[in-house]
Structure 1
Amino acid sequence: MTDMTYTIALMGNPNTGKSTLFNVLTGLRQHTGNWPGKTVTHAEGEFTYRGATYRLVDLPGTYSLYSNSADEEVARDFLLFERPDMTIVVVDATALERNLNLALQVLEMTGRVIVAVNLIDEAKKKGIHINTKKLAAKLGVPVVPISARNREGIDALLDTVDAMAHGRINTTPLSIQYSPDIERGIAKLLPLVKDIMGDTYPARWIALRLLDGDASLLQALKQPPQLLIKEGNAYACCGSVKSV
């Protein structure tokens, strides 16, 4: 018997191996469709580990959460309104600087983040060494090196998921400091946002998006999008990721 189900959002830039990791974790316990009211593909699956069940939602590959496209809006809205128990951000070890842009944006929305540095095998071939311990200390969240296609580091990733799900990891996510003008604008908006939204949503992130004139976010806050509902037995079979 499983004790409860945790929801994990899976995020990353296109071509980071995110879908490969999704397939490794969920196997045949997955299904696809479209997001409600969108033509954007939705993939969701399940796996079990150490007595807990995890619902893994593979969000569209995006470079940002700035609502410049339907993919970005879907990813943003899922984090904002469904508030997953944790988010795994998959980054490409061979293009780390570019990929971390999305990770930093996610950290502005939630601190319950695990960064999975994928394609670590390709990085080694190119002579790239990534000090994941230093990166974790800088970002304030766990960083796990993996090679999804070779199934390297998957056990370590699952152990980290298990630890975060059960409250054994405390994160201190890096907070980006902007120019003095922007910080003053955020400071003015924060009390208003908190007064209207309470603690339900990430107030600093919302204030930042309002300063940026994000009309799509305003519309979403007025009328939250329809969230996903699992209907019946949506999964094909009963495979699972087992504890070693």
Structure 2
Amino acid sequence: MPLHYHPSKTDKNLPVKTMYRVALAGNPNTGKSTLFNALTGLRQHTGNWPGKTVLHAEGTYDFNGKTFKLIDLPGTYSLYSNSADEEVARDCIVFEQPDVTVVVLDATAMERNMNLALQVLEITDQVILCVNLMDEARKKGIWIDTRKLSAKLGVPVIPTTARNHDGLQRLQRTIEEMVEGKIPTHPYRVHYGEEIEKRIAEMEPDIRAIFDAQLPSRWIALRLLDGDQNLVDALKNRLNRDGEEKGSHGTDQPLYPIEA
């Protein structure tokens, strides 16, 4: 069953999905782990990501008869492969493709936090922005118009104060509605200028052909143009793994060369 497929009422013979995967992304010190703990309680476990020394935390919660598995990604400022934490967060969102990615933002430092949020919006349409620490923002006289922000960015924006459980039920309801396909999204995409946009448009058809439209072609084109050799290696590993799973010997199909 495709990742975001939701059977209609006429699909009586198809199983209904009741377990959904939700990734929590965000900068350090946004209250992301507090949100994770508030939602999952004692239903969580930790370990390391395969092949990494980076902590891997997962937990579950139930809502309206559905089970949601939360993946607490490492706190990062970007997805640019500058550290093991960034690689783990990137690989989860790009390759594992959770049903929803919740980006947790610090309401007192929105400008700094938006860098990561905009990168995630380049990768997936299934995004919810959770503006956390709203109580701290009020103390500092900061007021955030979440409705206007949602209209501008094209995805739901939910205000919360995780340590007080404020807004968590609304967040859970929004996650549920998104996995059910009830929330259409139109994520804001940064325009990078005529020359770069032209290069992106030229590369995207080839990227989609190589990966069967499974991966975010625009974001991959941007990273290749930026010279992200780490991502090139990850993409080659994925192609080889997919080839082995299909009974072939992988692939030597070239990717775009990294430019200086």
TM over 0.5: yes
- Tell me by how many angstroms 1:198 deviates: 2.0
* Alignment match, 1:150: 164
What secondary structure is seen at the aligned counterpart in 2 of 1:38? coil
Gaps of 5+ in 2: 1-15, 242-260
- The answer as to 2:188 corresponding to 1:174 is yes
Query: Matches of residues 111-122 of structure 1 in structure 2 within 5 Å?
Result: 111-122=125-136
- The answer as to 2:247 corresponding to 1:220 is no
* Alignment match, 1:102: 116
* Alignment match, 2:94: 80
Give the CA RMSD over aligned residues: 1.4
- The answer as to 2:211 corresponding to 1:197 is yes
Higher Cα Rg, which structure: 2
Tell me the distance in 2 between the aligned counterparts of 1:20 and 1:156.
17
What secondary structure is seen at the aligned counterpart in 2 of 1:98? helix
* Alignment match, 2:35: 21
What secondary structure is seen at the aligned counterpart in 1 of 2:149? helix
Give 1:176's aligned amino acid: V
Higher mean displacement: 11-20 or 165-174? 165-174
- 1:102-134 deviation per Cα after TM superposition (whole angstroms, max 9, x unaligned): 010000000100100000000001100000000
Q: How high is the TM-score relative to the length of structure 2? A: 0.84
Give 2:132's aligned amino acid: N
Give 1:138's aligned amino acid: K
Q: How high is the TM-score relative to the length of structure 1? A: 0.90
* Alignment match, 2:137: 123
Higher mean displacement: 77-86 or 216-225? 216-225
* Alignment match, 1:58: 72
Tell me the distance in 1 between the aligned counterparts of 2:87 and 2:17.
32
Tell me the distance in 2 between the aligned counterparts of 1:25 and 1:216.
33
Tell me the distance in 2 between the aligned counterparts of 1:41 and 1:9.
14
* Alignment match, 1:211: 225
- Tell me by how many angstroms 1:44 deviates: 0.4
* Alignment match, 1:237: none
What secondary structure is seen at the aligned counterpart in 1 of 2:82? coil
Tell me the distance in 2 between the aligned counterparts of 1:184 and 1:172.
21
Tell me the distance in 2 between the aligned counterparts of 1:66 and 1:26.
29
Tell me the distance in 1 between the aligned counterparts of 2:145 and 2:129.
13
List 4+ stretches of structure 1 deviating above 2 A: none
- Tell me by how many angstroms 1:195 deviates: 1.8
Give 2:43's aligned amino acid: R
* 8 A contact 1:3–1:51 mirrored in 2: no
* 8 A contact 1:87–1:114 mirrored in 2: yes
- Tell me by how many angstroms 1:3 deviates: 5.5
- Tell me by how many angstroms 1:28 deviates: 0.3
* Alignment match, 2:248: none
* 8 A contact 1:6–1:165 mirrored in 2: yes
* Alignment match, 1:184: 198
Tell me the distance in 1 between the aligned counterparts of 2:152 and 2:83.
30
